[in-house]
């Protein structure tokens, strides 16, 4: 990452992580337990690092003169950390301000370099955000399907209300996906047990290039119109939502079901209901 200017915040810019924040530093922040830091940071970055990243406030940043002049975007960002304001609003304002404040080189080749570097930085920023989103979703899944249900099991509870009125309820959930190599067997089982109404039949026919009239005629005659062009592909399937609902109905109704054949998984997850 590019070095921050003297007296500027050394934390990464939240829009372009390869650039430093560079807002006037007011605090020294570090992670003493892992021998990282200290770093000088602005008020917003310091607050975020301490509250969300386990950092330690090591005291004020000593400089001859530190003037903290937050513009509209920075003020909203700080408000987000302090008052939990909507991040969508903050990001929208930040992007708008960045577009207005960006200085575009006048030289044509410098402009190409500028936008090329900017595109590269934005591609990396998006990749970093997508990676963070993937990891965050996995953390949520673990808490929702494992940590919280197990914690409530320890005290034999299926429902709990947080201090703010949010209700936690642990409920079973069902998933099913018929393995590809067992689809024919599964569909035969459904037909034998009078569940064939779940099965959809798809017919796909491929025509040669430019055979539009043949294709239109085939819609009317369905089969046997053109021997050389028509090669129907027949496929049976059950929509995953239909399968999941049916599996839930069968299990909760106490009906026998070949679980392996239908790729059934039964688990539990914690659901949150926010207070009105």
Asked whether residue 126 is domain-assigned, the answer is yes
Based on the domain organization, do 251 and 182 belong to the same domain?
yes
Name the DSSP letter for residue 146: I
- Predicted pLDDT at 90: 52
Cα–Cα nearest to 238, from 188, 275, 276, 192: 188
Q: Are 187 and 234 in contact (CB under 8 A)?
A: no
Based on the domain organization, do 181 and 117 belong to the same domain?
no
pLDDT mean over 77-90: 51
Q: Which domain holds residue 195?
A: 173-273
Where a domain ends, among 126, 156, 186? 156
Based on the domain organization, do 186 and 257 belong to the same domain?
yes
Based on the domain organization, do 257 and 186 belong to the same domain?
yes
Based on the domain organization, do 200 and 230 belong to the same domain?
yes
Q: Are 151 and 257 in contact (CB under 8 A)?
A: no
In sequence order, what are the residues at sequence separation of 6 or more whose Cβ sits closer than 8 angstroms to the Cβ of residue 274? 165, 166
Asked whether residue 263 is domain-assigned, the answer is yes
Which secondary-structure segment (H or E) carries 172? strand 167-176
Asked whether residue 37 is domain-assigned, the answer is no
Q: Is the peptide bond preceding residue 38 cis, with omega within 30 degrees of 0? A: yes
Q: CA–CA separation, 40 vs 208, rounded Å?
A: 68
Based on the domain organization, do 177 and 116 belong to the same domain?
no
Q: Any idea which of 73-82, 146-155, 178-187 has the lowest mean pLDDT?
A: 73-82
- Predicted pLDDT at 122: 87
Helices assigned H by DSSP within the chain: 43-52, 72-83, 87-101, 108-142, 148-154, 183-192, 212-221, 240-252
Q: CA–CA separation, 235 vs 238, rounded Å?
A: 10
Based on the domain organization, do 207 and 149 belong to the same domain?
no
Where a domain ends, among 96, 121, 156? 156
63 pLDDT above the threshold of 90: no
pLDDT mean over 243-263: 91
pLDDT mean over 69-78: 49
Q: What band does 5 get if pLDDT is binned at 50, 70 and 90?
A: confident
Q: Any idea which of 29-43, 67-81, 231-245 has the lowest mean pLDDT?
A: 67-81
Based on the domain organization, do 142 and 187 belong to the same domain?
no
- Predicted pLDDT at 69: 43
Based on the domain organization, do 200 and 228 belong to the same domain?
yes
Residues 211-235 have pLDDT tens digits of 888 777 777 776 554 454 455 677 8
Based on the domain organization, do 180 and 269 belong to the same domain?
yes
Q: CA–CA separation, 127 vs 121, rounded Å?
A: 10
Asked whether residue 121 is domain-assigned, the answer is yes
pLDDT mean over 42-70: 75
Based on the domain organization, do 148 and 203 belong to the same domain?
no
Decide which of 75 and 9 is more confident. 9
Based on the domain organization, do 253 and 210 belong to the same domain?
yes
Decide which of 105 and 268 is more confident. 268
| Number of domains composing the chain | 2
pLDDT mean over 164-168: 91
Share the mean pLDDT of the chain: 80
35 pLDDT above the threshold of 90: no
| pTM exceeds cut of 0.85 | no
Asked whether residue 149 is domain-assigned, the answer is yes
Asked whether residue 161 is domain-assigned, the answer is no
- Predicted pLDDT at 224: 53
Asked whether residue 260 is domain-assigned, the answer is yes
Q: What band does 168 get if pLDDT is binned at 50, 70 and 90?
A: very high
Asked whether residue 241 is domain-assigned, the answer is yes
């Amino acid at each position: 990452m590019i070095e921050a200017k003297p007296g500027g915040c050394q934390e990464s810019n939240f829009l372009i992580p390869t650039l430093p924040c560079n807002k006037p530093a007011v605090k020294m922040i570090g992670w003493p337990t892992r021998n990282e830091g200290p770093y000088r940071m602005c008020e917003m970055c310091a607050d975020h690092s301490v509250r969300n990243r386990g950092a330690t406030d090591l005291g004020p940043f000593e400089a001859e003169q530190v003037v903290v002049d937050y513009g509209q975007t920075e003020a909203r960002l700080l408000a987000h950390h302090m008052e939990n304001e909507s991040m969508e609003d903050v990001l929208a304002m930040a992007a708008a301000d960045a577009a207005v404040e960006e200085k575009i080189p006048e030289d044509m080749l410098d402009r190409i370099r500028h936008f090329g570097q900017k595109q590269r930085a934005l591609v990396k920023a998006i990749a970093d955000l997508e990676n963070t989103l993937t990891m965050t979703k996995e953390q949520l899944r673990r808490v929702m399907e494992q940590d919280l249900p197990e914690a409530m099991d320890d005290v034999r509870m299926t429902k709990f209300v947080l201090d703010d009125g949010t209700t936690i309820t642990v409920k079973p959930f069902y998933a099913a996906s018929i393995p590809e190599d067992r689809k024919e067997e599964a569909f035969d089982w459904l037909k034998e047990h009078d569940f064939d109404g779940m099965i959809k039949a798809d017919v796909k026919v491929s025509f040669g290039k430019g055979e539009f009239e043949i294709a239109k005629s085939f819609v009317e005659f369905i089969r046997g119109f053109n021997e050389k062009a028509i090669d129907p592909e027949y496929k049976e399937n059950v929509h995953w939502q239909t399968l999941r609902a049916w599996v839930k109905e069968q299990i909760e109704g106490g009906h026998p079901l070949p679980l392996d054949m239908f790729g059934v998984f039964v688990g539990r997850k914690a659901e949150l209901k926010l207070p009105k």
